[in-house]
Amino acid sequence: MATSASAATDTVTRWSIHEISFMGRESYANPYLKHDDPLLSVTFVHPDSGTQIVVEGFWDGGDTWRVRFAPTRPGMWTWTSSSADDGLNGKTGSLKCIAPTAAQIAENPNYRGHIKVGPTSRYFVHADGTPFFWLGDTAWFMNSRRCALGDNADGPFYTYLRDRRAKGFTVILAQYFATHQRNEAGYPFPANTKLPGNGDFDELNPDYFKQLDVRVQAIWDGGFVLAAHPTWIGKRMWMPPEDAGRISRYLMARYGAYNIIWSLSGEYQYSYSRQPRPWTTQDWKALGKTVQSCNVFGHPVSVHPSGRQKPDDPPEWPAEAHVGSSGGEFHNEAWLDHNWLQTGQRFDLLWRNPMRVAENYTRTPVKPLIHSEGWYENQRKWGPICTPAHIRWQAWAAFLNGAAGHGYGAWGLWQFHDPSDPESNLTKRDDTPSWQEALSYTGAAQLKHLRDFFTSIEWTALQPHRDWVRLDGRTPELQSLTDPHCAAKPGDSYVIYVPMDNRGKRAQILGLADQVYAARWFNPRDGSSSPINDGEPIDTDDDGTWTAPPVPDDEDWVLHLAAVSR
């Protein structure tokens, strides 16, 4: 809902976006540069609780400034603006916040409130405490002209969102802008449109971000959480730290009222080796503090790492930057409240997935971890093609080794490839599939079964317990592509993922205690279940173990044991 600074009291549903527009009186050579020291702020007060939220405004072209606010409590709110510009200063107003209906919440989980770290620091919850299952889809270039909005909300972008919602995804992984990619209103910084750019980020194009506004609102309306970084600093463009701070403040002011998760940059480590003035670790720590200083709604903050993990590749990177995790350099930073991992994008690197997840699960203090990027489905680079089986394996291995979320990617879709667009072929390959082809990959559809499985049980209580599984009497190896993965809530629920090529082998489960269980085989390819022991409860051995029937065939399977009353 939008209003002017002189409007009467508006009625706003809790957690929805309320926008207020202002007209400045002063003349500025470049209003965007005022975001170094924000020109406009608005204080929202909830008198009944004493809650006070101070939100920065943003320049939106000409003399127009705007503020976006998401009311966090029902009841009356009052607001007052503050600015050195007389046209923006001293404006007041009020709004009435009402609770969403049960039907609204069922249709759009964003009405449950912003995402935050959960009580055990192992997963995320909505503001109302409801656990949030992070299943992300990668659309790095959703803000491009080939991922268009259309004349009547009928463009490719909306086709994409409808498909991803139907397939059960809950998070859209994206970037807010790319200097070399146009959307319907041109480039974000018209004086800087080539790669790697000229480092000029002074002249911002507000119309570009107005087109992004429509996309971000549609993501919210679709019930998704947006997990995004401003752009790819260092890897795809040069950007000085001071400009990174300014654009981060601008984007947080513009989109901070939405349900977002913040990454400082994509593959941040390249800033150490690909810029005329290389960044330092301290530059990134300073940017993290800047982001948190304007993160008034308390969104989760991390940074997306590179998947390059050889200690000498490239040598300019600090030693801690070669571990595929934000936690290598920043785990103990106060501004970072969860870790993102990238584990590699080819077959011979798949073993990194469970290894890196397990490694980061043990970091202290405890923070949630996200497997944010791995091997893309149908990726046709660096050897064998990534199949649906590889997609399932990555997701199940990540969650069962302690991840709070997983990011899926489709080759051809992450770049939203359109062969007719000269800005499209980011991989410089003639065989890159179109986005239409990539949208229908099998592995993406099968991940809905994973989400449905986990959300049907108490998944937030599961803990990694690979040590409680034996396959034909052998302890599984963490880096094996065929050995099982296990997580459990001891004495209650046990989930064992058995990868392909284990036909006839028997899984023995330890740590079952003195309990009776119902056992089933769950099919991760179609979501069906087959009861074990004709559906009758199974008894554990005296030592608290149980040996499952042979694995049905060479496909992958999930063995699930759930405690039942005696």
133-176 confidence digits (pLDDT tens): 999 999 999 999 999 999 999 999 999 999 999 999 999 999 99
Instruction: Give the domain CATH number at 40.
Output: 2.60.40.10
By the 8 A CB rule, do 400 and 487 touch?
Answer: yes
- Quick check: 6 pLDDT over 60? no
Domain membership of residue 421 (yes or no) is yes
- In 59-145, where does DSSP find H-type helix? 102-107
The reply to whether 47 and 183 lie within a common domain is: no
The reply to whether 85 and 153 lie within a common domain is: no
Q: How high is the pLDDT of residue 183?
A: 98
Domain membership of residue 511 (yes or no) is yes
Specify the 3-state DSSP secondary structure of 192. Answer: coil
Query: Of 412, 439, 457, which closes a domain?
Result: 457
By the 8 A CB rule, do 324 and 341 touch?
Answer: yes
Residue 260 host element (H or E): strand 260-263
Residue 369 host element (H or E): strand 369-373
Residue 267's closest CA among 312, 226, 314? 314
Pairing verdict, β 225-229 and 171-175: parallel
The reply to whether 446 and 470 lie within a common domain is: no
Domain membership of residue 304 (yes or no) is yes
The reply to whether 547 and 421 lie within a common domain is: no
The reply to whether 260 and 334 lie within a common domain is: yes
- Quick check: 8 pLDDT over 80? no
The single-letter code of the amino acid at 357 is V
| 469 vs 474: CA distance, rounded Å | 8
Percentage of residues of the chain with pLDDT beyond 70: 98
Q: How high is the pLDDT of residue 167?
A: 98
Predicted TM-score (pTM) of the model is 0.96
The reply to whether 498 and 436 lie within a common domain is: no
pLDDT band at residue 556 using 50, 70 and 90 as cut-offs: very high
Specify the 3-state DSSP secondary structure of 285. Answer: helix
- Quick check: 424 pLDDT over 80? yes
Domain membership of residue 206 (yes or no) is yes
The reply to whether 235 and 322 lie within a common domain is: yes
Counting Cβ atoms within 10 Å, is residue 223 exposed (0-12), middle (13-18) or buried (19+)? Answer: middle
Q: How high is the pLDDT of residue 1?
A: 56
The reply to whether 466 and 448 lie within a common domain is: no
Least trusted range by pLDDT, from 2-11, 29-38, 49-58, 62-71:
2-11
Instruction: Give the domain CATH number at 481.
Output: 2.60.40
Stretch 67-81: mean pLDDT? 98
By the 8 A CB rule, do 54 and 67 touch?
Answer: no
The reply to whether 472 and 445 lie within a common domain is: no
Split into its structural domains, the chain has a count of 3
Q: How high is the pLDDT of residue 236?
A: 85
| 280 vs 310: CA distance, rounded Å | 19
- Quick check: 206 pLDDT over 90? yes
> For 237-262, how does the pLDDT look when each residue is reduced to its tens digit (9 = 90+)?
999 999 999 999 999 999 999 999 99
> For 439-488, how does the pLDDT look when each residue is reduced to its tens digit (9 = 90+)?
999 999 999 999 999 999 999 999 999 999 999 999 999 989 999 999 99
Beta bridge partners of residue 370, listed in sequence order: 340, 405
Query: Of 99, 128, 145, which closes a domain?
Result: 99
Domain membership of residue 107 (yes or no) is no
The reply to whether 83 and 161 lie within a common domain is: no
Structural domain containing residue 338: 120-457
Q: How high is the pLDDT of residue 566?
A: 60
The reply to whether 472 and 507 lie within a common domain is: yes
The reply to whether 252 and 349 lie within a common domain is: yes
